[in-house]
Structure 1
Amino acid sequence: MEIFKTADYNEDEYTIYRKLHADCRTTGGNEKMMNHQLMQKVGIITQKVAMAFFPLKEGERIPTIDELSHRLKASHGTIQAAFQLLKEDRAVELNSRGHLGTFLTYIDRLKLLEIAGFKTMVGVMPLPYSKKYEGLATGIYTTLERHGLHAALAFMRGSNNRLKGLEEKRYDFAVLSQLTAQYYIDRGENIRIVENFGKFTYVGRHVLLLREDDPVRESDRFEGYRIGVDSSSVDQKTLTKEFFGEKDVEYIPLVYSQIVPFLRMKKIDAAVWNLDDIDLAANHLAYRALDNRRLNIVDTEAVVVCLSENGFVYQILKTMLDRREVLDCQKGVLSDEIMPKY
Structure 2
Amino acid sequence: MSDIKNLIMNKNGIVSMTLAKIIIQLKVGDRIPTFSELSEQTNVARGTLQNAMKLLQTTNAVTLESRGHLGTFLMDRNMKLLLEFANIFSLVGVMPLPYSNHLKGLATGIISAMENEYDIPVNMAYMRGARKRLSLMMEGRYDFTLASKLAVNDSIQQGTQLQIIKEFGPKTYLSNHVIVFGDANTNSIEDGMRIGIDNDSTDQANLTYHITKDHKVRYVNLNYNQILNKLSNGEIDAAVWNEDEIKESYPNIHYKQIEGIDENDTVAVIVANKNTTELCTLLTQLIDVDTVLSIQHLVDHGKMIPRY
- Hey, what's the Cα distance between the residues in 1 that align with 2:197 and 2:211? 12
Q: Secondary structure at the match of 1:128?
A: coil
**Offset of residue 245 of structure 1:** 0.5
**Alignment pair present for 1:209 and 2:183:** no
Q: Secondary structure at the match of 2:125?
A: strand
Which position in structure 2 is the counterpart of 1:154?
125
Which position in structure 2 is the counterpart of 1:325?
291
Structure 2 portions without partners, runs of 5+: none
Which position in structure 2 is the counterpart of 1:61?
31
**Offset of residue 204 of structure 1:** 0.8
**Offset of residue 108 of structure 1:** 1.9
Cα gap change, 1:147 to 1:277, in 2 (>3 Å): farther
Which position in structure 2 is the counterpart of 1:81?
51
Q: Secondary structure at the match of 1:276?
A: helix
**Offset of residue 49 of structure 1:** 0.8
**Alignment pair present for 1:314 and 2:285:** no
Which position in structure 1 is the counterpart of 2:87?
117
Instruction: Note the 1:190-201 alignment, pairs <5 A.
Output: 190-201=161-172
Cα gap change, 1:229 to 1:248, in 2 (>3 Å): same
**Offset of residue 180 of structure 1:** 0.7
**Offset of residue 178 of structure 1:** 0.7
**Offset of residue 283 of structure 1:** 4.9
Which shows bigger deviation, 232-241 or 109-118? 109-118
Cα gap change, 1:96 to 1:134, in 2 (>3 Å): same
Which position in structure 1 is the counterpart of 2:158?
187
- Hey, what's the Cα distance between the residues in 2 that align with 1:208 and 1:51? 46
Q: Deviations over 1:62-104 (max 9, x none)?
A: 2222211221222333222222222222222122222222222
**Alignment pair present for 1:242 and 2:210:** yes
**Offset of residue 201 of structure 1:** 1.2
Cα gap change, 1:335 to 1:147, in 2 (>3 Å): farther
Which position in structure 2 is the counterpart of 1:292?
260
- Hey, what's the Cα distance between the residues in 2 that align with 1:323 and 1:180? 20
- Hey, what's the Cα distance between the residues in 2 that align with 1:256 and 1:316? 33
Q: When the two structures are aligned, how many residues end up with a matched partner?
A: 307
Q: Is the 8 A contact 1:264 1:283 kept in 2?
A: no
Cα gap change, 1:186 to 1:281, in 2 (>3 Å): closer
Q: Deviations over 1:6-45 (max 9, x none)?
A: xxxxxxxxxxxxxxxxxx9xxx7396xx1xx423221111
**Alignment pair present for 1:262 and 2:225:** no
- Hey, what's the Cα distance between the residues in 1 that align with 2:254 and 2:76? 59
Q: Is the 8 A contact 1:174 1:305 kept in 2?
A: yes
Structure with more relative contact order (C-alpha pairs < 8 Å, separation 6 or more): 2
**Alignment pair present for 1:303 and 2:303:** no
**Alignment pair present for 1:339 and 2:290:** no
Which position in structure 2 is the counterpart of 1:18?
none
- Hey, what's the Cα distance between the residues in 1 that align with 2:277 and 2:155? 19
Which shows bigger deviation, 92-101 or 43-52? 92-101
**Offset of residue 277 of structure 1:** 3.1
- Hey, what's the Cα distance between the residues in 2 that align with 1:221 and 1:340? 37
- Hey, what's the Cα distance between the residues in 2 that align with 1:233 and 1:188? 18
Q: Is the 8 A contact 1:58 1:105 kept in 2?
A: yes
**Offset of residue 206 of structure 1:** 0.7
- Hey, what's the Cα distance between the residues in 2 that align with 1:234 and 1:246? 20
Structure 1 portions without partners, runs of 5+: 1-23
Q: Is the 8 A contact 2:4 2:85 kept in 1?
A: no
- Hey, what's the Cα distance between the residues in 2 that align with 1:281 and 1:52? 48
**Offset of residue 119 of structure 1:** 0.8
| Equivalent residue letter for 1:229 | I
Which position in structure 2 is the counterpart of 1:49?
19
- Hey, what's the Cα distance between the residues in 2 that align with 1:184 and 1:278? 28
Cα gap change, 1:196 to 1:307, in 2 (>3 Å): same
- Hey, what's the Cα distance between the residues in 1 that align with 2:301 and 2:186? 35
Q: Secondary structure at the match of 1:59?
A: coil
**Alignment pair present for 1:223 and 2:188:** no
- Hey, what's the Cα distance between the residues in 2 that align with 1:77 and 1:324? 45
Cα gap change, 1:319 to 1:286, in 2 (>3 Å): same
In angstroms, what is the RMSD of aligned CA positions? 2.2
Q: Deviations over 1:116-143 (max 9, x none)?
A: 1111111111111111211221222222
Q: Secondary structure at the match of 1:216?
A: coil
Cα gap change, 1:288 to 1:30, in 2 (>3 Å): closer
The structure that has the greater radius of gyration is 1
Q: Is the 8 A contact 1:216 1:222 kept in 2?
A: no
Q: Secondary structure at the match of 1:44?
A: helix
**Offset of residue 323 of structure 1:** 2.2
Q: Is the 8 A contact 1:57 1:107 kept in 2?
A: no
| Equivalent residue letter for 2:145 | A
Which shows bigger deviation, 273-282 or 74-83? 273-282
Which position in structure 1 is the counterpart of 2:3?
29
- Hey, what's the Cα distance between the residues in 2 that align with 1:333 and 1:182? 28
**Alignment pair present for 1:40 and 2:10:** yes
- Hey, what's the Cα distance between the residues in 1 that align with 2:250 and 2:271? 37
- Hey, what's the Cα distance between the residues in 1 that align with 2:239 and 2:100? 18
**Alignment pair present for 1:168 and 2:142:** no
